[in-house]
Chain A
Amino acid sequence: MDDIIRLENLVKIYDTGALRVLGLDRTDLSIKRGEFVAIMGHSGSGKSTLMNILGCLDRPTLGKYYLDGEAVDEMDSRELSQVRNRKIGFVFQSFNLISRMSIEKNVEIPMIYARKKPGERRQRAIELLTRVGLRERLWHQPNELSGGQRQRVAIARALANDPPLILADEPTGNLDSKASVEIMELFAGLHREGATVVVVTHEENIAAYTHRIITFSDGRIISDRINENPTSVSESSDLADRIS
């Protein structure tokens, strides 16, 4: 089995001193390489906890987490930084671009922390921004772009170190419906090219783009089903063409 993610009996307890909150309750989950998965649930369902653990931003209280074959739960914070840098491409709800840098520089950030050479970084950043249809905007600052464009920059940034896993946390939460479609089509395109994409969302129509929908409630998986009929996207492989 070529699992990119494998969770075994994962438990997360938040200890606030006064009371203990069970974030995740004995969760088992496997996601295979190349899957396009939605994680759904209301707030407090445990999906954010799962997102933080999957993204190596937080550590489980108990249980095992294998990411790309490595036992992440045993790593120290320095190793976790490296895992986030090389293995995971984050896409956030509010884009989280750094405002005083050009979008090209923003895309370079993960490569800076991967200690890549400046020439290589720049070439890769331009290539990625071209792929998401922002070739003409390389030297713009994030605040000169629309929300949809900013999220495309964030996706380009997530792809910078060619990570095996793309992890998107409510990627369309701050976008209008047209831009949401654009972004979901981009993810669908990446999936078609072989990427593993995990999208955390509470919107049905966003989850509808994915091929597998996992629903959380009270820290447990209450349903894990295959989406037989994902929202279809145009079949062109050139992402830039479709968007712009």
Chain B
Amino acid sequence: MLLENMKMAFAALKANKMRSFLTMLGIIIGIGSVIAIVSIGDTMRRMFTDLYKDVGITQAFIQPGYWLEDLRQSDYFTVDDIEKLKEIFGDDIAYIDSSASVSGEITVGRRKKNFNLTGIDYNYQDVQPVDIVYGRYLNEGDIKGRKQNAVMEAEAAKEMFGSENAVGKTFRMTVYGSVLEFNIVGVYKKEMSPFQKLMMGTGNGTGEAFIPWTLLTWPNDFFYSLRYFADTKLDEEQLSALNSDIVSYIARSKGRNAEDFYFTTAANEMGAVDSVLGGVSAAVGGIAAISLLVGGIGIMNIMLVSVTERTREIGTRKALGATTTDIMIQFLTESAVLSAVGGLIGVMLAAGLVSLGGLIFSLPVVIKPGVVIMAVGFSALVGIFFGIYPAKKAAANDPIIALRYE
């Protein structure tokens, strides 16, 4: 019987193709925009998740609070602080440094280019792996010996030296007022999606290289921020315990409260981005859902027209033995099919558009099957809901009057 109703519903819709399509349009647009928005939101979240994974999800920064009015020299960090932290939390900290970097122009002969030199310890590769394509990474000797050695990113190396293999070449840069000459000991490659490049602010003319952090941070220096990567084997609870332990240890050692320090982790920032994106998707999705409501009203309207037009058919069916329920189900099926087909078209349209967008911007598009099933199911529900009143009206027809209806 259900199958028969479905067949009848499709036949009725086919009999009025243009009208059915126009009625579906509301649902197509509604479902289409909901799916498109949710998929774009999911795609963005996924990209940010990937991005932060790359940055190192356990990465944390700590600084004296920028809001402090009585900032003292003792609030700053020293190399001793780093040594002590390593001593106390060494098992749980995979990497720690002073988060030092310098930006400026480097010169190779007459060629100049803006570079960002990041000061790192020799084990930085453990937490931020890169692909060394020529030469070697910075080693313990480079760091301890404060050697003016550098590891340069391959594309920048090619731009400066005409070849990716720049091992053995040198460049000059002014660091803290004095001109230093660096030897390139290695060249690395880092694969990034266009989106990552965009977000990381590279690929826009700034070259990257790593140098020993000891060149930027002297044993008796005071510096403003610390960064560390917690060991990735820690679970969420252990991680947050570690983070708060470290902050309170530092606060104590400087005679301050934990609240006086600014502390953030990659996970925090990702959470913030995620919740902003989630909020935006939900808000825009909600607005799109209103168009579903409008689409539903359109369906109700056309079903009412259809019921009136088919008064005679309803009378005939009743005379031939259809019960009130039979008629009710027939019209409900029709509005559900109308709406679900609209939903399906909307989903396909949205999936097509989002995938096309993904191709153009070469982004990995996320379309969750659950969302698709929900959308089609929901549109069928919209059809049933808005079909109830017309179907009741159809079923309530008195066969005697309906049969005489012209």
Name A's B-contacting residues (CB within 8 A): 52, 55, 57-58, 77-78, 81-82, 84-86, 90, 92, 96, 98, 100-101, 109-110, 112-115, 157, 161
Contacts and interface: CB of A to CB of B under 8 A. Distances in A.
B324 A77 contact: yes
A114 B400 CA distance: 21
Please indicate which of the listed interface residues B318, B319, B326 has the most CB atoms of chain A within 10 Å of its own CB: B319
A100 B313 CA distance: 11
Given A52-B400, A98-B313, A100-B12, A113 B319 contact: no
B4 A112 contact: yes
A113 B329 CA distance: 12
B317 interface: yes
A109 B4 CA distance: 10
14 contacts: A52-B400, A55-B319, A57-B318, A57-B399, A81-B321, A82-B323, A85-B320, A96-B316, A96-B319, A96-B403, A100-B11, A100-B14, A109-B320, A114-B321
Contact of A96 (B4, B312, B321): B312
B379 to A, nearest CB: 24
A92 B324 CA distance: 21
Contact of B321 (A52, A58, A113): A113
Contacts of B324: 77-78, 81
Nearest to A87: B321
A81 B315 CA distance: 12
B185 to A, nearest CB: 80
Interface of B: 1, 4, 11-12, 14-15, 312-313, 315-324, 326, 399-400, 403
Contacts of B316: 92, 96, 98
B320 A113 contact: yes
B11 A81 contact: no
B318 A81 contact: yes
B311 to A, nearest CB: 11
Contacts of B403: 57, 92, 96
Contacts of B322: 81, 113
A76 to B, nearest CB: 10
A81 B323 contact: yes
Contacts of B4: 112
A157 B1 contact: no
Contact of A157 (B12, B313, B318, B320): B320
B312 A58 contact: no
A115 B1 contact: yes
A57 B12 contact: no
B178 to A, nearest CB: 90
B116 to A, nearest CB: 71
Given A58-B400, A100-B12, A101-B11, A78 B320 contact: no
B406 to A, nearest CB: 9
Contacts of A157: 320
B321 A82 contact: yes
A53 to B, nearest CB: 10
Nearest to B319: A90
| 5 shortest interchain CB distances as A-B pairs | A85-B321, A113-B321, A100-B15, A96-B316, A81-B323
A227 B1 CA distance: 45
B319 A78 contact: no
A86 B1 contact: no
A162 to B, nearest CB: 13
A113 B326 contact: yes
Given A81-B324, A90-B319, A101-B11, 10 more contacts: A52-B400, A81-B322, A84-B320, A85-B320, A92-B316, A98-B313, A100-B11, A100-B14, A100-B15, A112-B1
A226 B149 CA distance: 124
B17 to A, nearest CB: 11
With a 10 A CB-CB cut-off, give which of A52, A82, A101 has the most chain B CB atoms.
A101
A88 to B, nearest CB: 8
Nearest to A78: B323
Contact of A110 (B1, B320, B400): B320
B320 A90 contact: yes
Contacts of B399: 57
B317 A109 contact: yes
Among A58, A77, A98, find the residue whose CB has the most chain B CB atoms closer than 10 A: A98
A113 to B, nearest CB: 4
Contacts of A161: 321
Nearest to A81: B323
Nearest to B11: A100
B317 to A, nearest CB: 7
Contact of A86 (B12, B15, B321): B321
